[in-house]
Amino acid sequence: QAKGEDKGTWQRYRPELHSAMVQRLETRAALHEAIELEQFTLMYQPIVDLETGLVSGVESLVRWQHPQRGLLSPYDFIEVAEESGTIVSIGSWVLREALAQFAYWRRTEPAASLAYVSVNVSARQFRTPGFVDHVRQAIEDAHARPEWLLLEITESLVLRDADQVWADLRVLRAMGVRIAIDDFGTGYSSLSYLRQMPVDVLKLDKSFIDDILDSEQQHIMVDTIVSLARNLDLAVVAEGVEDLGQRTALARMGCPYGQGYLFSKPVWPADVMPLVHNVRALV
Ligand code: C2E
Ligand code: MG
Ligand code: MG
Ligand code: MG
């Protein structure tokens, strides 16, 4: 029976379905040992202050160095990792690795503009009992400061069981950790709800940025969100900035931060500091 079907319904055997299923099962099994085998690795993408052009922070983005399939993007395995629960240990590894790397950068280059590392947290990981203590411990073990950490969560997590999640968010923020809503605008949160959310940063999804030059409507939308965010004391990061025209339009609107291929694709750790120092390379 093909995966994901309701019980009791049958489908004709299809080889392509079969191989997709085998692929998923293999991924699932291999994910289990990928941590012990040290097959995960992090790349970093700069988040740029649109006013000064300085790199204000970096986002850590996980990659899986698969022995047979090569370097895999999160799109190839995060979903399976979520389903199987492995995301909890992967996420824990990512958090510790990103903090250790960032603490190293701060120690070796204390004068650099680089102020924080942003770490993606899956809903399942956030909702694991003890998550907040886990974050506290990870910061301590890395000899890092809570202010150096920005956690990226999804809109749907903030909307679902709001009570527990919001309580945890408040504890994290009281510690000094900052919270960003990733891919903002792709979910269902209303703008009026924003005022109450215990978050610090909105990361405006790439789909909003793609059309700001061609669509008057998209332009107005982004402009409105940026002004609202400013009034609510929320920072905004525009995601997926790919060309200079978009950057200029965003800066004119007063959007404080941008991230995207225009500035840099995700890079390996050794290439981060050169980017931070070479501001003009970031346009
Ligand atoms: P995200 O958090 O929204 O990260 C941004 C994604 O957009 C990254 O893809 C980045 O490489 C890509 N990107 C950045 N700028 C541009 C641009 O200008 N144009 C285009 N076309 N793409 C751009 P990546 O690294 O493949 O990550 C995909 C997603 O996987 C991330 O989306 C995030 O949701 C998830 N992810 C990555 N690392 C982790 C992790 O450590 N834990 C969890 N739970 N999820 C992760
Ligand atoms: Mg993200
Ligand atoms: Mg994002
Ligand atoms: Mg995105």
Element (H, E) at 57: strand 55-66
Atom of ligand 1 nearest to the CA of 183: 3
What tokens does 43 get?
């790349």
Give the confidence band of 282 by pLDDT, cuts at 50, 70, 90. low
d(CA 199, ligand 2 centre) in Å: 15
Cα of 279 from ligand 1 centre, angstroms: 23
Taking the centre of ligand 4 as the mean of its atom positions, its distance from the CA of residue 8, in whole angstroms, is: 37
Q: Is the ipTM of this complex over 0.90?
A: yes
**Does residue 242 contact residue 80 with C-beta atoms inside 8 Å?**
no
Closest ligand 1 atom to the C-alpha of 43? 25
Q: β-strand 201-204 against 178-184: which pairing, if any? A: parallel
* Residues β-bridged to residue 58: 46, 117
Q: What pLDDT digit, counting tens, does each position of 104-160 carry?
A: 999 999 989 999 999 999 999 999 999 999 999 999 999 999 999 999 999 989 888
* Residues above pLDDT 90, as percent of the chain: 78
The atom number, within ligand 1, closest to the CA of 74 reads 30
Give the residue, by CA position, lying nearest to ligand 1 atom 17.
240
Is residue 249 within 8 Å of 216, Cβ to Cβ?
A: no
In ligand 1, the atom with minimum distance to the C-alpha of 73 is 26
Contacts of 45 (CB under 8 A, 6+ apart): 58, 59, 61, 259, 264, 265, 266, 267
Do 11 and 1 meet the contact criterion of CB atoms below 8 Å apart? yes
pLDDT-wise least confident of 10-24, 54-68, 70-84, 186-200: 10-24
Residue 51 CA to ligand 4 centre (angstroms): 22
Cα 82–88–92 angle (5° rounding)? 135
Q: At CB < 8 A and 24+ separation, what contacts does 138-142 make?
A: 138/92, 138/95, 138/96, 138/99, 139/99, 139/177, 141/96, 141/99, 142/96, 142/99, 142/100, 142/102, 142/103
Ligand 1 binding pocket (C-beta < 6 A) is: 45, 61-62, 73-75, 78, 91, 94, 120, 122, 152, 182-183, 240-242, 259-261, 266
> Within 10 A of 271 (CB to CB), how many other CB atoms are there?
13
Alpha helices in the chain (DSSP H): 15-34, 78-84, 87-108, 123-126, 131-141, 155-159, 162-175, 206-210, 216-231, 244-253, 272-277
Binning pLDDT at 50, 70 and 90, where does residue 214 land?
A: very high
pLDDT digits (tens, 9 = 90+) for 91-106: 999 999 999 999 999 9
Contact 225, 219 (CB under 8 A): no
CA of 152 to the centre of ligand 2 (A): 6
Atom of ligand 1 nearest to the CA of 261: 18
